[in-house]
Amino acid sequence: MFLLLASHVAQAGKLAIVIDDFGYRPATENQVLAMPVNVSIAVLPDAPYAREMALKAHRQGREILIHLPMAPLSKQPLERNTLTPAMSRDQVADIIRQATQKVPYAVGLNNHMGSAMTSSLSGMQHVTQALSHYSYYFLDSVTIGNSQAVDAAAGTGVRVLKRQVFLDDTANEADIRHQFNRAVALARRNGFAIGHPHPATVRVLQQMLPSLPGDIVLVRPSMLLDERPAAAPMAKPAPPRPHPFRGVPYCPSRQPAPPIYADAMLGAIASSVADTWRNILRGETAPAAGKSDAAQPGSGKPDAAQ
């Protein structure tokens, strides 16, 4: 399986290539080891030539990953020690510990298959907790859209890379070439791609790696861990629009209003009530509510005067 990762920097795009499924086909894998040293490999821990190929790649100075089998959703033959979501944390940690011994000099780990395992948050939490003891990064092959790898790594210190493009969904060289060109284009704006060790894929890489564009640099995956896309420039905030209604100007009083005390207010009310009763006892009536005295004929005059 071939994995391409890419990242863009100001001067040049960075393209990383990881070749998966190492350990079963020495003839094909030796062709890969004849490629530039920044082409990295991922080794299946229980493959018959796993240790041999890891040691050979290390002597060349290549970056090595553990290509750890993880359970898929579909039914298909599984590798030995395939991780499943039902496994306990200790079981997962033990399988990863054995894998580190079978694949020496590894600095990272990626998933072989794994749509069921990587979509399980608890399962991937067991994986990232175990990886934190080895200072490994995790390369997510993204075999399912709702992979939980990034969320599971939160708080563990494990850094995660993700692929964006599969190189060889078909074994057709024209399709692989198209996907390779797409990976190169993505390298100019942060991109990742993944593939498999088909002879056609090997031929495409042999032909196209020597002619990478001048603005693309071949790097190891670990060199992309700290890359971040450039932040978009922040737009200037628009000035606030004035409200059309400005309100009524406030004119403050030059002198403070005198205080009104409760005893004075109650005295005024009592005096008013007393005056009203005196008028009633004399036979006088108050004017109708809501009308001024001037609006009433004979206002303020006794009935005898009408």
Question: Residue 95 sits in a domain of what CATH number?
Answer: 3.20.20.370
Per the domain annotation, does 102 fall within a domain?
yes
Band of residue 288 on the pLDDT scale cut at 50, 70, 90: very low
Per the domain annotation, does 233 fall within a domain?
no
Residue 3 CA to residue 108 CA, distance in Å, equals 14
Q: Tell me the residue range of the domain where 178 lies.
A: 2-224
Per the domain annotation, does 71 fall within a domain?
yes
pLDDT of residue 234: 38
Please say whether the beta carbons of 32 and 206 come within 8 A: no
Question: Does the pLDDT at position 66 exceed 90?
Answer: yes
Query: How many residues in total does the chain contain?
Result: 306
Per the domain annotation, does 238 fall within a domain?
no
Q: Above pLDDT 90, what percent of the chain?
A: 50
Per the domain annotation, does 29 fall within a domain?
yes
pLDDT of residue 163: 82
Instruction: Please provide the average confidence, as pLDDT, over all residues in the chain.
Output: 79
Domain count, the chain: 1
Question: Does the pLDDT at position 276 exceed 90?
Answer: no
Question: Does the pLDDT at position 286 exceed 50?
Answer: no
Which has the minimum average pLDDT: 13-17, 39-43, 169-173, 266-270? 266-270
3-state helix, strand, coil in the chain (%, to 5): 35, 15, 45
- Collapsing DSSP to helix, strand or coil, 140 comes out as strand
Question: pTM for this one?
Answer: 0.71
Which has the minimum average pLDDT: 66-75, 110-119, 167-176, 267-276? 267-276
Residues contacting 288, CB < 8 A, separation 6+: 296
Residues contacting 30, CB < 8 A, separation 6+: none
- Collapsing DSSP to helix, strand or coil, 261 comes out as coil
C-beta neighbour count of 102 within 10 angstroms: 18
pLDDT of residue 186: 83
Sequence letter at residue 107: V
Residue 134 CA to residue 289 CA, distance in Å, equals 92
Which has the minimum average pLDDT: 2-11, 62-71, 198-207? 2-11
Per the domain annotation, does 11 fall within a domain?
yes
pLDDT of residue 150: 96
pLDDT of residue 14: 85
Per the domain annotation, does 255 fall within a domain?
no
Residue (of 62, 65, 60, 26) closest to 45 by Cα position? 65
Question: Does the pLDDT at position 233 exceed 70?
Answer: no
Per the domain annotation, does 248 fall within a domain?
no
| CA dist list (Å): 182 to 20, 149, 193, 203, 306 | 19, 25, 9, 17, 109
Question: Does the pLDDT at position 121 exceed 70?
Answer: yes
pLDDT of residue 249: 45
| Torsions phi, psi for 122 (to 5 deg) | -65, -40
Q: Structure tokens of 272?
A: 């008013």
Please say whether the beta carbons of 112 and 79 come within 8 A: yes
Question: Does the pLDDT at position 263 exceed 70?
Answer: no
Which has the minimum average pLDDT: 97-111, 112-126, 199-213, 261-275? 261-275
Planar angle of CA 131, 157, 71, nearest 5 degrees: 40
